[in-house]
Amino acid sequence: MKLTPQHTVRAAYIGYLTQAITINFAPLLFITFEKTYDISLGKISLLIAVSFLTQLTADAVAAKFSNGVNTRLWVILAHLFAVLGMTGFAYLPDLLPDPYIGLILPVMIAAVGGGIIEVLISPIVEACPTEEKSAAMSLLHSFYSWGLAGVVLLSTLFFTFVGIEHWRILSALWAIVPAAGAVAFCFVPIYTLPEAPKDEEQGQKSIFRQGIFWIFFVMMFSAGAAEMVMSQWASSFAESGLGVSKSMGDLLGPCAFAILMGSARVFYGKSGGKIKLLRFILLSSCLCIVAYFIAALSPRPLISLLGCALCGLSVGILWPGTYSLASAKLPYGGVRMFAVLAMAGDIGCLVGPTAAGWLAEAFGNNLKIAFLAAIVFPVLILVMAYLGFRKKKKA
Protein backbone atom coordinates (compact mmCIF):
# COMPACT_ATOMS: atom_id res chain seq x y z
CA MET A 1 0.00 0.00 0.00
CA LYS A 2 1.32 3.42 -0.98
CA LEU A 3 1.59 5.69 2.05
CA THR A 4 0.30 9.25 1.61
CA PRO A 5 0.44 12.53 3.55
CA GLN A 6 -2.76 11.43 5.30
CA HIS A 7 -0.87 8.51 6.84
CA THR A 8 1.76 10.96 8.06
CA VAL A 9 -0.93 13.13 9.66
CA ARG A 10 -2.46 10.08 11.37
CA ALA A 11 0.93 9.09 12.75
CA ALA A 12 1.26 12.66 14.02
CA TYR A 13 -2.05 12.21 15.84
CA ILE A 14 -0.47 9.31 17.75
CA GLY A 15 2.40 11.64 18.62
CA TYR A 16 0.06 14.10 20.27
CA LEU A 17 -1.78 11.30 22.07
CA THR A 18 1.63 10.27 23.39
CA GLN A 19 2.39 13.78 24.60
CA ALA A 20 -0.95 13.92 26.41
CA ILE A 21 -0.15 10.66 28.19
CA THR A 22 3.35 11.70 29.29
CA ILE A 23 2.17 15.05 30.62
CA ASN A 24 -1.14 14.18 32.26
CA PHE A 25 -0.87 10.69 33.74
CA ALA A 26 1.19 11.63 36.81
CA PRO A 27 -1.04 14.57 37.93
CA LEU A 28 -3.96 12.15 38.35
CA LEU A 29 -1.90 10.47 41.07
CA PHE A 30 -0.58 13.52 42.96
CA ILE A 31 -2.72 12.81 46.03
CA THR A 32 -1.86 9.10 45.80
CA PHE A 33 1.87 9.91 45.66
CA GLU A 34 1.46 12.22 48.65
CA LYS A 35 -0.23 9.51 50.73
CA THR A 36 1.77 6.49 49.51
CA TYR A 37 5.24 7.98 49.71
CA ASP A 38 4.63 10.78 52.26
CA ILE A 39 5.65 13.54 49.84
CA SER A 40 4.50 17.14 50.44
CA LEU A 41 2.32 19.02 47.98
CA GLY A 42 5.17 21.46 47.37
CA LYS A 43 7.53 18.64 46.36
CA ILE A 44 4.78 17.06 44.26
CA SER A 45 4.40 20.35 42.38
CA LEU A 46 8.10 20.14 41.51
CA LEU A 47 7.28 17.08 39.36
CA ILE A 48 5.45 19.48 37.06
CA ALA A 49 8.49 21.75 37.03
CA VAL A 50 10.84 18.85 36.28
CA SER A 51 8.60 17.66 33.45
CA PHE A 52 8.40 20.97 31.66
CA LEU A 53 11.98 21.98 32.43
CA THR A 54 13.06 18.76 30.71
CA GLN A 55 10.76 19.51 27.78
CA LEU A 56 12.17 23.02 27.70
CA THR A 57 15.70 21.64 27.47
CA ALA A 58 14.64 19.36 24.60
CA ASP A 59 13.09 22.38 22.85
CA ALA A 60 16.28 24.42 23.28
CA VAL A 61 18.47 21.63 21.92
CA ALA A 62 16.12 21.20 18.94
CA ALA A 63 16.19 24.96 18.30
CA LYS A 64 20.00 24.90 18.27
CA PHE A 65 20.48 21.85 16.04
CA SER A 66 17.23 21.77 14.04
CA ASN A 67 18.94 22.16 10.65
CA GLY A 68 20.95 18.97 11.06
CA VAL A 69 18.23 16.79 12.59
CA ASN A 70 17.27 13.46 11.02
CA THR A 71 13.56 14.02 11.57
CA ARG A 72 12.41 10.41 11.20
CA LEU A 73 15.06 9.08 13.57
CA TRP A 74 14.38 11.64 16.26
CA VAL A 75 10.60 11.27 16.13
CA ILE A 76 10.99 7.51 16.57
CA LEU A 77 13.40 8.05 19.47
CA ALA A 78 10.94 10.49 21.04
CA HIS A 79 8.25 7.81 21.16
CA LEU A 80 10.72 5.29 22.60
CA PHE A 81 11.67 7.75 25.36
CA ALA A 82 7.97 7.99 26.18
CA VAL A 83 7.75 4.19 26.38
CA LEU A 84 10.71 4.06 28.79
CA GLY A 85 9.27 6.83 30.94
CA MET A 86 5.79 5.36 31.27
CA THR A 87 7.08 1.88 32.08
CA GLY A 88 9.54 3.43 34.55
CA PHE A 89 6.64 4.55 36.75
CA ALA A 90 5.84 0.87 37.29
CA TYR A 91 9.04 -0.01 39.14
CA LEU A 92 11.42 2.92 39.79
CA PRO A 93 9.63 4.49 42.83
CA ASP A 94 9.72 1.16 44.67
CA LEU A 95 13.12 0.07 43.38
CA LEU A 96 15.16 3.15 44.34
CA PRO A 97 15.97 4.04 47.97
CA ASP A 98 14.22 7.41 47.61
CA PRO A 99 10.73 7.03 46.04
CA TYR A 100 10.75 10.71 45.10
CA ILE A 101 13.77 10.17 42.84
CA GLY A 102 11.94 7.14 41.46
CA LEU A 103 9.14 9.49 40.40
CA ILE A 104 11.41 12.22 39.04
CA LEU A 105 13.36 9.90 36.72
CA PRO A 106 10.41 8.53 34.68
CA VAL A 107 8.92 12.03 34.54
CA MET A 108 12.18 13.29 33.00
CA ILE A 109 12.56 10.40 30.56
CA ALA A 110 8.98 10.71 29.33
CA ALA A 111 9.34 14.50 29.10
CA VAL A 112 12.33 14.16 26.75
CA GLY A 113 10.04 12.27 24.39
CA GLY A 114 7.23 14.78 24.81
CA GLY A 115 9.56 17.71 24.16
CA ILE A 116 10.93 16.27 20.92
CA ILE A 117 7.40 15.42 19.79
CA GLU A 118 6.24 18.98 20.45
CA VAL A 119 9.10 20.42 18.38
CA LEU A 120 8.98 18.07 15.38
CA ILE A 121 5.38 16.90 14.91
CA SER A 122 3.82 20.32 14.25
CA PRO A 123 6.29 21.29 11.47
CA ILE A 124 5.90 17.81 9.95
CA VAL A 125 2.14 18.39 9.64
CA GLU A 126 2.65 21.99 8.53
CA ALA A 127 4.93 20.69 5.75
CA CYS A 128 2.44 18.06 4.53
CA PRO A 129 0.90 19.01 1.14
CA THR A 130 -2.59 19.64 2.55
CA GLU A 131 -5.01 22.56 2.33
CA GLU A 132 -6.11 24.89 5.15
CA LYS A 133 -2.95 24.74 7.24
CA SER A 134 -4.45 26.45 10.31
CA ALA A 135 -7.39 24.02 10.32
CA ALA A 136 -5.03 21.04 10.01
CA MET A 137 -2.92 22.39 12.89
CA SER A 138 -5.99 22.82 15.07
CA LEU A 139 -7.15 19.26 14.34
CA LEU A 140 -3.67 17.94 15.12
CA HIS A 141 -3.63 19.62 18.51
CA SER A 142 -7.14 18.37 19.23
CA PHE A 143 -5.60 14.91 19.59
CA TYR A 144 -3.67 16.18 22.59
CA SER A 145 -7.07 17.03 24.07
CA TRP A 146 -8.57 13.64 23.20
CA GLY A 147 -5.47 12.03 24.67
CA LEU A 148 -5.94 14.01 27.88
CA ALA A 149 -9.62 13.03 28.03
CA GLY A 150 -8.72 9.40 27.35
CA VAL A 151 -6.05 9.38 30.04
CA VAL A 152 -8.49 10.77 32.61
CA LEU A 153 -11.51 8.67 31.59
CA LEU A 154 -9.77 5.32 31.10
CA SER A 155 -7.58 5.81 34.16
CA THR A 156 -10.66 6.63 36.24
CA LEU A 157 -12.38 3.46 35.01
CA PHE A 158 -9.23 1.47 35.83
CA PHE A 159 -8.98 2.98 39.33
CA THR A 160 -12.68 2.29 39.94
CA PHE A 161 -12.88 -1.32 38.77
CA VAL A 162 -9.31 -2.57 39.26
CA GLY A 163 -8.17 -0.35 42.12
CA ILE A 164 -6.00 2.73 42.37
CA GLU A 165 -3.39 0.67 44.26
CA HIS A 166 -2.59 -0.99 40.88
CA TRP A 167 -1.64 2.28 39.19
CA ARG A 168 1.80 0.86 38.33
CA ILE A 169 0.18 -1.64 35.94
CA LEU A 170 -1.76 1.13 34.26
CA SER A 171 1.38 3.19 33.66
CA ALA A 172 2.88 0.26 31.75
CA LEU A 173 -0.31 -0.21 29.73
CA TRP A 174 -0.23 3.43 28.62
CA ALA A 175 3.20 2.77 27.09
CA ILE A 176 1.45 0.85 24.27
CA VAL A 177 0.44 4.13 22.58
CA PRO A 178 3.96 5.58 22.09
CA ALA A 179 5.17 2.12 21.04
CA ALA A 180 2.58 2.20 18.23
CA GLY A 181 3.73 5.71 17.27
CA ALA A 182 7.36 4.58 17.03
CA VAL A 183 6.35 1.81 14.62
CA ALA A 184 4.18 4.15 12.52
CA PHE A 185 6.97 6.69 12.00
CA CYS A 186 9.24 3.96 10.70
CA PHE A 187 7.15 3.85 7.52
CA VAL A 188 5.15 7.04 6.85
CA PRO A 189 6.57 9.68 4.46
CA ILE A 190 8.25 12.67 6.13
CA TYR A 191 7.91 16.16 4.62
CA THR A 192 9.99 19.27 5.35
CA LEU A 193 9.15 22.96 5.44
CA PRO A 194 10.30 25.19 2.56
CA GLU A 195 13.64 26.93 2.98
CA ALA A 196 13.97 30.66 2.68
CA PRO A 197 15.42 31.95 -0.62
CA LYS A 198 18.91 33.38 -0.31
CA ASP A 199 17.62 36.90 -0.85
CA GLU A 200 14.65 36.44 1.50
CA GLU A 201 14.89 38.81 4.47
CA GLN A 202 12.55 36.69 6.61
CA GLY A 203 14.99 33.82 7.00
CA GLN A 204 15.34 31.81 10.16
CA LYS A 205 17.92 34.14 11.70
CA SER A 206 16.11 37.39 10.97
CA ILE A 207 12.74 36.30 12.40
CA PHE A 208 14.15 36.68 15.91
CA ARG A 209 14.79 40.36 15.17
CA GLN A 210 11.16 41.03 14.28
CA GLY A 211 8.78 42.38 16.90
CA ILE A 212 5.89 40.24 15.69
CA PHE A 213 7.84 37.08 16.50
CA TRP A 214 8.24 38.13 20.15
CA ILE A 215 4.52 38.86 20.33
CA PHE A 216 3.96 35.25 19.29
CA PHE A 217 6.57 34.15 21.84
CA VAL A 218 4.70 35.81 24.73
CA MET A 219 1.37 34.46 23.41
CA MET A 220 2.77 30.92 23.41
CA PHE A 221 4.13 31.37 26.94
CA SER A 222 0.74 32.57 28.16
CA ALA A 223 -1.15 29.87 26.26
CA GLY A 224 0.94 27.13 27.87
CA ALA A 225 0.52 28.62 31.34
CA ALA A 226 -3.24 29.23 31.02
CA GLU A 227 -3.80 25.68 29.80
CA MET A 228 -1.55 23.82 32.21
CA VAL A 229 -2.51 25.55 35.45
CA MET A 230 -6.00 24.11 35.09
CA SER A 231 -5.00 20.87 33.37
CA GLN A 232 -2.42 19.94 36.00
CA TRP A 233 -4.30 21.03 39.11
CA ALA A 234 -7.98 20.40 38.31
CA SER A 235 -7.88 16.84 39.66
CA SER A 236 -6.27 17.85 42.96
CA PHE A 237 -8.55 20.90 43.17
CA ALA A 238 -11.65 18.72 42.86
CA GLU A 239 -10.41 16.07 45.28
CA SER A 240 -8.98 18.22 48.08
CA GLY A 241 -10.37 21.72 47.47
CA LEU A 242 -13.99 20.91 46.61
CA GLY A 243 -14.38 17.73 48.63
CA VAL A 244 -15.87 15.61 45.83
CA SER A 245 -14.80 12.02 45.19
CA LYS A 246 -11.73 11.43 43.03
CA SER A 247 -13.71 9.66 40.29
CA MET A 248 -16.38 12.36 40.10
CA GLY A 249 -13.79 15.13 40.34
CA ASP A 250 -11.66 13.69 37.55
CA LEU A 251 -14.65 13.24 35.25
CA LEU A 252 -16.18 16.67 35.85
CA GLY A 253 -12.84 18.49 36.12
CA PRO A 254 -9.88 17.50 33.91
CA CYS A 255 -11.89 15.11 31.70
CA ALA A 256 -14.54 17.71 30.86
CA PHE A 257 -11.72 20.26 30.46
CA ALA A 258 -10.04 18.04 27.87
CA ILE A 259 -13.24 17.23 25.96
CA LEU A 260 -14.20 20.88 25.62
CA MET A 261 -10.63 21.85 24.70
CA GLY A 262 -10.64 19.24 21.94
CA SER A 263 -14.10 20.34 20.81
CA ALA A 264 -12.89 23.94 20.38
CA ARG A 265 -9.98 22.72 18.26
CA VAL A 266 -12.16 20.46 16.12
CA PHE A 267 -14.72 23.26 15.73
CA TYR A 268 -12.10 25.59 14.30
CA GLY A 269 -10.51 22.78 12.28
CA LYS A 270 -13.83 21.95 10.64
CA SER A 271 -14.65 25.59 9.95
CA GLY A 272 -12.49 25.51 6.84
CA GLY A 273 -10.85 28.82 7.66
CA LYS A 274 -14.17 30.72 7.66
CA ILE A 275 -13.57 32.03 11.18
CA LYS A 276 -10.97 34.76 11.61
CA LEU A 277 -8.28 33.18 13.73
CA LEU A 278 -7.14 36.32 15.57
CA ARG A 279 -10.71 37.21 16.54
CA PHE A 280 -11.30 33.65 17.76
CA ILE A 281 -8.19 33.91 19.95
CA LEU A 282 -9.35 37.21 21.44
CA LEU A 283 -12.80 35.81 22.29
CA SER A 284 -11.26 32.66 23.74
CA SER A 285 -8.98 34.71 25.98
CA CYS A 286 -11.97 36.62 27.37
CA LEU A 287 -13.78 33.34 28.02
CA CYS A 288 -10.67 32.02 29.80
CA ILE A 289 -10.76 34.94 32.23
CA VAL A 290 -14.41 34.23 32.99
CA ALA A 291 -13.73 30.50 33.45
CA TYR A 292 -10.96 31.07 36.00
CA PHE A 293 -13.16 33.51 37.92
CA ILE A 294 -15.96 30.91 38.09
CA ALA A 295 -13.61 28.13 39.25
CA ALA A 296 -12.03 30.32 41.93
CA LEU A 297 -14.99 32.28 43.28
CA SER A 298 -18.04 30.03 43.05
CA PRO A 299 -19.28 28.83 46.46
CA ARG A 300 -20.73 25.65 44.93
CA PRO A 301 -18.38 22.74 43.98
CA LEU A 302 -20.30 21.77 40.83
CA ILE A 303 -20.22 25.33 39.50
CA SER A 304 -16.48 25.52 40.24
CA LEU A 305 -16.03 22.29 38.26
CA LEU A 306 -18.06 23.88 35.46
CA GLY A 307 -15.51 26.70 35.46
CA CYS A 308 -12.70 24.13 35.16
CA ALA A 309 -14.43 22.55 32.17
CA LEU A 310 -15.21 25.91 30.57
CA CYS A 311 -11.51 26.76 30.82
CA GLY A 312 -10.83 23.86 28.44
CA LEU A 313 -13.16 25.35 25.84
CA SER A 314 -11.44 28.72 26.17
CA VAL A 315 -7.82 27.57 25.85
CA GLY A 316 -8.43 25.17 22.96
CA ILE A 317 -7.36 27.47 20.14
CA LEU A 318 -4.64 29.44 21.94
CA TRP A 319 -1.63 27.12 21.40
CA PRO A 320 -2.33 25.84 17.84
CA GLY A 321 -3.75 29.21 16.82
CA THR A 322 -0.52 30.96 17.77
CA TYR A 323 1.47 28.38 15.78
CA SER A 324 -0.73 29.08 12.74
CA LEU A 325 -0.49 32.86 13.06
CA ALA A 326 3.29 32.64 13.34
CA SER A 327 3.59 30.26 10.38
CA ALA A 328 1.45 32.57 8.22
CA LYS A 329 3.34 35.75 9.16
CA LEU A 330 6.81 34.12 9.14
CA PRO A 331 6.57 31.41 6.45
CA TYR A 332 10.31 30.72 6.33
CA GLY A 333 10.79 30.32 10.06
CA GLY A 334 11.33 26.58 9.65
CA VAL A 335 11.72 24.01 12.40
CA ARG A 336 13.78 26.48 14.44
CA MET A 337 10.83 28.87 14.75
CA PHE A 338 8.55 26.03 15.85
CA ALA A 339 11.20 24.90 18.33
CA VAL A 340 11.57 28.35 19.91
CA LEU A 341 7.79 28.82 20.07
CA ALA A 342 7.47 25.37 21.64
CA MET A 343 10.12 26.45 24.11
CA ALA A 344 8.03 29.53 24.95
CA GLY A 345 4.97 27.36 25.47
CA ASP A 346 6.88 24.96 27.68
CA ILE A 347 8.25 27.84 29.75
CA GLY A 348 4.63 28.76 30.36
CA CYS A 349 3.79 25.13 31.15
CA LEU A 350 6.65 25.15 33.66
CA VAL A 351 6.05 28.53 35.28
CA GLY A 352 2.24 28.48 35.41
CA PRO A 353 1.39 25.26 37.29
CA THR A 354 4.55 25.31 39.41
CA ALA A 355 3.82 28.84 40.61
CA ALA A 356 0.21 27.81 41.18
CA GLY A 357 1.34 24.95 43.43
CA TRP A 358 3.67 27.17 45.46
CA LEU A 359 1.05 29.91 45.75
CA ALA A 360 -1.59 27.41 46.86
CA GLU A 361 0.75 25.97 49.50
CA ALA A 362 1.56 29.49 50.78
CA PHE A 363 -2.16 30.07 51.39
CA GLY A 364 -2.82 26.76 53.13
CA ASN A 365 -3.17 24.54 50.03
CA ASN A 366 -5.83 26.89 48.66
CA LEU A 367 -5.90 26.37 44.88
CA LYS A 368 -8.65 28.97 44.45
CA ILE A 369 -6.06 31.69 45.14
CA ALA A 370 -3.81 30.13 42.52
CA PHE A 371 -6.63 30.11 39.96
CA LEU A 372 -7.32 33.79 40.60
CA ALA A 373 -3.66 34.60 39.99
CA ALA A 374 -3.70 32.56 36.75
CA ILE A 375 -6.04 35.12 35.17
CA VAL A 376 -2.91 37.11 34.30
CA PHE A 377 -2.12 34.65 31.49
CA PRO A 378 -5.24 35.12 29.30
CA VAL A 379 -4.93 38.87 29.97
CA LEU A 380 -1.40 38.74 28.53
CA ILE A 381 -2.72 36.97 25.42
CA LEU A 382 -5.33 39.67 24.96
CA VAL A 383 -2.68 42.38 25.20
CA MET A 384 -0.26 40.64 22.82
CA ALA A 385 -2.94 39.77 20.26
CA TYR A 386 -4.13 43.37 20.35
CA LEU A 387 -0.59 44.65 19.86
CA GLY A 388 -0.11 42.28 16.94
CA PHE A 389 -3.34 43.50 15.33
CA ARG A 390 -2.47 47.15 15.85
CA LYS A 391 1.01 46.55 14.41
CA LYS A 392 -0.54 44.99 11.31
CA LYS A 393 -3.06 47.84 10.95
CA LYS A 394 -0.32 50.47 11.29
CA ALA A 395 1.79 48.70 8.69
Q: Whose CA is closest to 374, among 313, 295, 310, 316?
A: 295
> Mean pLDDT over all residues of the chain?
85
pLDDT of residue 218: 95
Question: Rg of the Cα trace of the chain?
Answer: 20
- Rounded Cα–Cα distance for residues 221 and 23 (Å): 17
DSSP classification of residue 96? S
Pick the CATH number of 5-389 from 1.20.1250.20, 3.50.30.40, 1.10.1140.10, 3.40.50.20: 1.20.1250.20
- Overall average pLDDT of the 213-226 stretch: 94
Structure-model confidence comparison of residues 302 and 128, the more confident one: 128
Residues contacting residue 1 through CB under 8 Å, at least 6 positions apart: none
301 burial level (CB within 10 Å; 0-12, 13-18, 19+):
middle
Range with lowest mean pLDDT among 24-28, 66-70, 88-92, 255-259: 66-70
Structure-model confidence comparison of residues 335 and 189, the more confident one: 189
Structure-model confidence comparison of residues 53 and 214, the more confident one: 214
pLDDT of residue 171: 93
Residues contacting residue 115 through CB under 8 Å, at least 6 positions apart: 54, 55, 56, 57, 58, 59, 62, 78, 342, 346
This prediction has a pTM of: 0.80
Residue-wise pLDDT for 136-173, tens only, equals 888 898 998 899 888 888 988 898 899 888 999 999 99
Residue-wise pLDDT for 230-259, tens only, equals 887 877 777 766 666 766 766 767 778 888
Q: How confident is the model at residue 80 (pLDDT cuts 50, 70, 90)?
A: very high
Residue-wise pLDDT for 373-390, tens only, equals 999 999 999 999 888 766
Q: How many CB atoms lie under 10 A from the CB of residue 287?
A: 18
pLDDT of residue 201: 44
Residue 165 phi, psi (nearest 5): -70, -15
For the chain, give every domain's residue range.
Answer: 5-389
